[in-house]
């Protein structure tokens, strides 16, 4: 059992298939959770059954929006202990010469810039308080490049480089770590639409990823820093 009572956790993308599971697990362990939500998702802003959960509207690809999000967080909480960067997306499979510049920028902003902006604001608080856990989401194509995954793979490779750089920068803080999890295909209802049912059991589940995130957030996780944890299932 991981005990996170009193910890303040920020989760980007906490209303997605993976985010929902991670948020629920953090809440069960006693953390207070604040997640970014979109304009379309205001129903998740302040669930009455979970007073320790709050959703704040934010565009994580916008510097101004992220700054406003953190201003609202710090107006209510003295610090941030945990940051889970779960926002991300994958584009259509295309050869490099077929990718438009808009499509390229979309992948960089959604997967990499969002991660940078959220990390930049959290690290200041974590360094000041001497404690922090940052967990980013990379991906298999970011570790091992794949054909027709140019924009997605490069953006996730950037997440890996950003994670390792930040981990080097927090080495002087004994209880501050930065790591990333690199899944293959996550078993979600959306992903099932283009997969074969025989393959579903080979994919990594949101629950398995959430378990790893909780481990990294725990006291045992303080010994893990700058690692890209590959969770590929059996693909």
In a domain, 183, yes or no: yes
Residue 8 parent element (H or E): strand 8-12
Secondary structure E strands in 66-174: 82-85, 131-137
On whether residue 2 sits in a domain, the answer given is no
Furthest-apart CA atoms within the chain: distance in Å: 50
Domain span at residue 43?
8-231
Q: How much is the pTM?
A: 0.92
- Where do we find the tokens 């944890």? 229
CATH number of the domain to which 23 belongs: 3.40.50.720
- Asked whether residue 204 is domain-assigned, the answer is yes
Structurally, how many domains does the chain consist of? 1
**Is residue 151 domain-resident?**
yes
Q: How far is 207 from 210, CA to CA, in rounded Å? A: 5
Tell me, yes or no, whether 1 lies in a domain: no
| H or E stretch covering 154 | helix 150-169
Q: Is residue 95 part of a domain?
A: yes
Strands across the sheet with 32-37, in order? 53-57, 32-37, 8-12, 82-85, 131-137, 175-183, 228-231
Residue 66 lies in a domain: yes
Asked if residue 105 is part of any domain, the answer here is: yes
pLDDT in tens, the chain (235 residues): 568 999 999 999 998 889 999 999 999 999 999 999 987 765 554 444 466 899 999 999 999 999 999 999 999 999 999 999 999 988 889 999 999 999 999 999 999 999 999 999 999 999 999 999 999 999 999 999 999 999 999 999 999 999 999 999 999 998 999 999 999 887 776 765 666 666 777 788 889 999 999 999 999 999 999 999 999 876 6
């Amino acid at each position: 059992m991981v005990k996170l009572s009193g910890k303040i956790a920020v989760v980007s993308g906490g209303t997605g298939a993976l985010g929902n599971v991670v948020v629920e697990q953090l809440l069960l362990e006693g953390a207070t959770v604040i997640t970014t939500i979109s304009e379309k998702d205001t129903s998740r802003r302040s669930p009455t059954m979970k007073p320790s959960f709050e959703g704040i509207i934010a565009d994580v690809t916008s510097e101004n929006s992220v700054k406003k999000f953190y201003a609202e967080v710090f107006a209510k909480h003295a610090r941030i202990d945990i940051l889970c960067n779960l926002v991300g997306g994958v584009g259509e499979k295309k050869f490099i010469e077929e990718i438009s510049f808009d499509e390229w920028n979309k992948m960089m902003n959604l997967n990499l810039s969002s991660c940078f902006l959220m990390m930049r604001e959290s690290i200041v608080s974590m360094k000041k308080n001497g404690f922090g856990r940052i967990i980013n989401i990379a991906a298999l194509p970011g570790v091992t490049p794949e054909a027709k995954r140019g924009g997605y793979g490069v953006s996730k490779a950037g997440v890996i480089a950003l994670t390792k750089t930040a981990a080097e920068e927090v080495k002087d803080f004994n209880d501050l770590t930065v790591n990333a999890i690199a899944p293959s295909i996550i078993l979600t209802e959306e992903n099932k639409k283009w997969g074969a049912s025989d393959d579903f059991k080979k994919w990594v589940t949101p629950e398995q990823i959430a378990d790893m995130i909780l481990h990294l957030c725990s006291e045992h996780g303080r010994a893990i820093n700058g690692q890209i944890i590959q969770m590929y299932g059996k693909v």
